[in-house]
A and B are shown apart, each in its own frame.
Chain A
């Protein structure tokens, strides 16, 4: 039943993107590991990590699109869910360092030894097991989103107000994680990771595997969100976006519908963060910056909100541009990003993908109309000929 539910929802463009992602998941690691460094098709390891990072950003943008594009909730706190997932993964990686830290303490991470802590705080218990950390990656952001959303949607905080309080949430978390007393490494965050699941985190093989995992996760999440959006629930979700009060009057529990989307989206953001951290090698409170969340919004907007492929394209485009720009003209990146924000909102409200598909649809309709015209012409012409 679930298979048919998933299959039914796939249309050609989604299948194509999933196929590309799966192809990348195989091809990039293969080109990295199996070809010689001087081979023309060789992908260097740093690029593998860089592309892996883009894919986690794409997943984050996809998560945001589920709530913003399909439910009309502009969350300015998605970087917080992303960072929380990242911290959960970072805690696991810290515990894996074991006695190899600079203080050689088998149990406590370096920063705790430095702060003169005697024992592991309760919330660090269990993070030495991967399954537990993996569970927390999903649960912690999910739970935060659930509680936050439950309060916010129940009291009908929406629109601008919701955006602002999600921003307040991520700002409060930013301040909290900067504190050393919180037990998350304060300003420096968590870093100096050694292995993941027993494999050296720096090794090319691990990096390739992480890339493949990112691509695979993105593909799975894309299928999942497509399924959600195309289901009956998804229709109601869009109805909430377009006419919230009317949906409520029709008897739907709007707050439950929103809450489900918000929580799922936060969980996906958490997974993205968890994949991001081992590839980047550090997680610190800077990830909670309110500006980061807003940047995610622009990725989604550039790609096209309300299209599931759009955020993926947007995240990769903007971040690719950022990598190229900051290397070539570091002064101008912020001008370019700022200009992008303005231009996209003014001239490209549907984003790249949205505009392109609208254009294609229009052309298709045009062609169909032309065909119909021709058909009618012939229909009209024939009787005339018969006369």
Chain B
């Protein structure tokens, strides 16, 4: 419906311009358009080319209608019309002037049949025509489509457009489109050589495809050039693939870091094997769900702010739950790490079942705010915004935590208590108070991680289970009691995982990583960055 309206609108505009251009041009175009009606399928290609060459913007709706199968020829006189369906009859519109002709029963008209080859020709012809559009986006799109489906006929149009183009991005795409098109045209070899060079510089999968197909049909004199260009592109692709792997690795690493960083506090600093850590992440994700739910029903305009609202709330909710757990269970178990494992495992079962009873066992929908959706390209890399934000967020949380531990008096007390509880106590530090706050802090950070992870994972009662083992691996691998170790551990495990994946597959890659960690712990039982001194044996 929208398309039809648009077509009508354009035709209406053209009606005005038709008066300006005068009757002569209209007659020529009219002949070209009517020729569409009499053409056989095989001839349509040429007729479309002829229409496109005219460069007249009035051709656009005709070609669009042809591609969509809305162009009909009248059986009696061969007149060609744009049509819209209305019951058993068709509403006829003059293709060039856009004036309404009236209605006619379907039987009187014959559809101008098109196949995929014709549709392709229509698309590239339209691409050529929109190369001159006033809208930069439309021009870029047209140039991209010309680059994708090279058509020798469009070469002159592209060159004309290139000469007139001001926008740098469009110019670059046009340049590549010209090179691609040049290769399939009958221009001299020197021009083609230059085109090959342009393509080799631009790189990418498309250039690779074009050059490979050109290789089979090209002259012997051009072949070495093409081969050299192919090699160059392939090398560039190997480089970009490695870059992509690093990026995926960083992304996975940031997820691991987020999941593990709270654990680095509760397990790494306090020595509590907190099996309920994953459930704190899960509760954070459910807090996000609740916040979005309220926003959706009551304040839809705030949706883009939902994560910003959910973050402090999740921190508070999980922090308070963590505080309650510490006060009611964990404080009786200090110094007995294996017992904390059992008790917190029990707590995790209770929390999971509670969430399952309240929210149901199925996945809950958590939406992405608009600033987290979409992606952009850097060279040969595609970077999605949500992954990028999660990396930024993970690093920000890490930095904030590091600051808190190393630069504030609270952090100083926390470190004092973990390093030597009795000495800290005799210096007047209220150790139970510090313990409770530290555990609440670790839990709260896990909840904030849950807000971020709700953006890329399914929000279900089992969310936390998926992260708990990985988180422990990261903390143990990085070295207990050392935040930097957690950072390095998370990113190196993430990148290692993503580099193994192409060779071993996702599951086997993960198994290999686990085996490597087990072997690594044999070699360095205290992780990458081990704490030294008496604190270790305590």
| A199-230 vs B, Cβ < 8 Å mask (1 yes, 0 no) | 00000000000000000000000000000000
Whether A335 lies near B353 (C-beta < 8 A) is yes
Which listed residue (B273, B346, B469, B525) contacts A157, Cβ 8 A?
Answer: B525
Whether B517 lies near A168 (C-beta < 8 A) is yes
Known: A165-B518, A167-B472. A334 touches B352 (CB 8 A): yes
Q: Which residue of B lies closest to A332 (CB)?
A: B353
Q: Once the chains are docked, how many angstroms separate the CA of A344 from the CA of B342?
A: 9
Q: Once the chains are docked, how many angstroms separate the CA of A297 from the CA of B469?
A: 17
Known: A168-B517, A334-B352. A152 touches B342 (CB 8 A): no
Known: A74-B338, A168-B469, A179-B508. A331 touches B353 (CB 8 A): yes
Chain B nearest CB from A274 CB (Å) reads 25
Interface size class of B (residues with CB under 8 A): 35 or more
Chain B nearest CB from A380 CB (Å) reads 45
Chain A nearest CB from B251 CB (Å) reads 21
Chain B nearest CB from A252 CB (Å) reads 20
Q: Which residue of A lies closest to B353 (CB)?
A: A334
Instruction: Tell me which of A33-41, A53-61, A170-178 binds B.
Output: A170-178
Whether A160 lies near B337 (C-beta < 8 A) is yes
Known: A168-B469, A172-B511, A290-B469. A342 touches B525 (CB 8 A): no
Which listed residue (B332, B346, B511) contacts A339, Cβ 8 A?
Answer: B346
Which listed residue (A172, A298, A339, A345) contacts B333, Cβ 8 A?
Answer: A345
Asked if A341 is at the interface (CB within 8 A of a chain B CB), the reply is yes
Q: Which residue of B lies closest to A168 (CB)?
A: B514
Q: Once the chains are docked, how many angstroms separate the CA of A333 from the CA of B353?
A: 9
Which of A152, A157, A169 has most B Cβ within 10 Å? A157
A74-B341, A151-B522, A345-B340 given; 16 more Cβ-contact pairs under 8 Å? A156-B525, A157-B521, A159-B338, A160-B271, A160-B337, A160-B341, A164-B473, A165-B518, A165-B521, A175-B507, A335-B353, A337-B346, A338-B353, A341-B343, A344-B342, A346-B333
Which listed residue (A148, A151, A176) contacts B511, Cβ 8 A?
Answer: A176
For the complex, would chain A's binding face be called helix, strand, loop or mixed by DSSP majority? helix
Asked if B324 is at the interface (CB within 8 A of a chain A CB), the reply is no
Q: Once the chains are docked, how many angstroms separate the CA of A154 from the CA of B522?
A: 8
Q: Which residue of A lies closest to B476 (CB)?
A: A164
Chain A nearest CB from B528 CB (Å) reads 14
Which of B273, B343, B349, B526 has most A Cβ within 10 Å? B349
Which listed residue (A168, A172, A332, A342) contacts B346, Cβ 8 A?
Answer: A342
Which listed residue (A164, A178, A297) contacts B342, Cβ 8 A?
Answer: A297
List B contacts of A349 (CB < 8 A).
339
Asked if B402 is at the interface (CB within 8 A of a chain A CB), the reply is no
Whether B514 lies near A171 (C-beta < 8 A) is yes
Whether B350 lies near A338 (C-beta < 8 A) is yes
Interface size class of A (residues with CB under 8 A): 35 or more
Asked if A294 is at the interface (CB within 8 A of a chain B CB), the reply is yes
List A contacts of B338 (CB < 8 A).
74, 159-160, 163
Asked if A301 is at the interface (CB within 8 A of a chain B CB), the reply is yes
Asked if A161 is at the interface (CB within 8 A of a chain B CB), the reply is yes
Asked if A102 is at the interface (CB within 8 A of a chain B CB), the reply is no
List A contacts of B337 (CB < 8 A).
159-160
Q: Once the chains are docked, how many angstroms separate the CA of A165 from the CA of B472?
A: 9
Whether B515 lies near A172 (C-beta < 8 A) is yes
Asked if A13 is at the interface (CB within 8 A of a chain B CB), the reply is no
Whether B339 lies near A161 (C-beta < 8 A) is no
Asked if A239 is at the interface (CB within 8 A of a chain B CB), the reply is no
Contact sample, A vs B, 14 pairs, CB 8 Å cutoff: A148-B518, A156-B525, A164-B472, A165-B476, A165-B517, A176-B511, A290-B469, A291-B465, A337-B346, A340-B346, A341-B346, A344-B342, A346-B332, A346-B343
